[in-house]
Structure 1
C-alpha cells in the first residue's frame, strides 16, 4: 500500500505566486488630492511613494504620474496634459515637485527634481533626472534639459538647446501675474471639459488637502521673486 500523497509543492508555489501577483496589482500610491483638483479617471497614477495634487490642478486623460522612484507633488493650478509623464521610474530614486501654475504639455517627460512656479514645459520636451527649472521659465516643444541640468528663473530653452533669458517677464511683475492668471483661467475652463475621476481615487471620506511644499535648499540658487 502506497503512502498518502503530500500536497504538491508546485501547487503551493503557484498559489503563492498568484497571491503575490494579485497583491502587487492592488498596490497604489498614497494619494493626497485636493477637493478642487480634477483628476481624470483615465489618468494613470502608479508607484508606492506619495502623490500630492494641489488646489485646482488638472490631470488630463492618459497623463501619467509616476511615483515609482520617489514622491510626486503637483502644485496648485498645474496642468498635466495627455500622455505627459511626471515622476521617476523604479530604481531611480528622487522626488519630483511642480510648484504652482506649471503647465506640462502633451507627451512631455518630467524627471527633474523641481519645476518652478509659472513655468511651461512644451510638447514632447524632456526634463532629465535631477534637473531644475526655475520660475517663469519655458522649455520649448521637443527640447531637452539634460540630467542634472539647470534652467534659471525666466530662462527659455529653444532651437536645439540654445538658452536665453526672457527679459520682459524678468522685468515685469505685471506680466508674471498675467501668466499665472492665464493658467488659473485655463484650469477653470478645463473643469467643465475634463470629467473628474478623483472621487474614486480619494475614497471615503473626502478630505480637502492643503498643499504645503517642503523647503528645498537646492532651489535657493534659482529661486526668483515671490508674488
Structure 2
C-alpha cells in the first residue's frame, strides 16, 4: 500500500484561500487572484493539482484528482478565470480558461474542457472532449449542446468584492508565492 504523499500548498499573491473549513489534500498550487470559499475540497490524491489565476470556487465545490487505475501519477491542470458555482465538482484533468460549471454540475476524469465552455445546472458529464465555447444544458430531460458566440461573462467584479469580504469573516492562508 502506497504511503500518502505529504500536503504541499502553494498560494499565489492576492489569492484568498479559507482554511478553517476547507479541505486541501496533497500537492496543490493555487494561482494569484483565485478565491477559494469555505467548505471547498481540493483533493490531489492521484497527483498534483495546478489551479490557474483568478478562478472562483464557491461553497461546497470539490476538485478531485483521483488516483488512476494503473497507479500512474497524473497532473490536473485548471486554467484561468474559471467559475465553479456552488457544489459543482470536477475530476477533469484538463480544463482551459473562462469555463463555468453551474450549480451541482459534475465532470468526470475523462472529460477535457477547452476554453469558454458552460456546463449547465446539475449536468453530469463523462467521456467528452469539449471544444471551445461549447454549452451543455438539459431540455426536456435530454442533454443539449450548442456552440456559443463568445466567452462567458467574467467574474472580476465578484472576485474583487470577495477579496475584501472573505478575510473579514474567515481565516485565510497567507500567500506562499509572491510572483
Q: How high is the TM-score relative to the length of structure 2? A: 0.84
1:32 equivalent in structure 2 = 10
Unaligned runs of 5+ in 2: none
Work out the number of aligned pairs and report it.
167
1:17 equivalent in structure 2 = none
Counterpart among 189, 196, 207 of residue 161 in structure 2: 189
RMSD value, Cα: 2.1
The structure with the largest alpha-carbon Rg is 1
Taking a change above 3 Å as real, the CA distance of residues 150 and 67 of structure 1, as seen in their structure-2 partners, is same
Higher deviation after alignment, 111-120 or 89-98: 89-98
2:52 equivalent in structure 1 = 75
- Structure with greater helix share of residues: 1
Answer yes or no: is 1:162 the counterpart of 2:144.
yes
Counterpart among 111, 115, 120 of residue 95 in structure 2: 115
Say whether the 8 Å CA contact 2:17–2:35 is kept in structure 1. yes
Correspondence list, 1:19-168, <5 A? 28-41=6-19, 42-47=21-26, 50-90=27-67, 93-146=73-126, 148-159=127-138, 160-167=142-149
Taking a change above 3 Å as real, the CA distance of residues 166 and 91 of structure 1, as seen in their structure-2 partners, is closer
Q: Residues of 2 paired with 1:53 and 1:46: CA distance?
A: 13
Q: How high is the TM-score relative to the length of structure 1? A: 0.67
Runs of 4+ in structure 1 off by over 6 angstroms are none
Q: Residues of 2 paired with 1:130 and 1:91: CA distance?
A: 11
Q: Which has the higher contact order (CA 8 A, sep 6+)?
A: 2
Unaligned runs of 5+ in 1: 1-22, 170-175, 211-227
Q: Residues of 2 paired with 1:143 and 1:161: CA distance?
A: 8
Say whether the 8 Å CA contact 1:87–1:95 is kept in structure 2. no
Q: Residues of 2 paired with 1:164 and 1:143: CA distance?
A: 15
Distance apart, 1:91 and its partner CA: 5.0
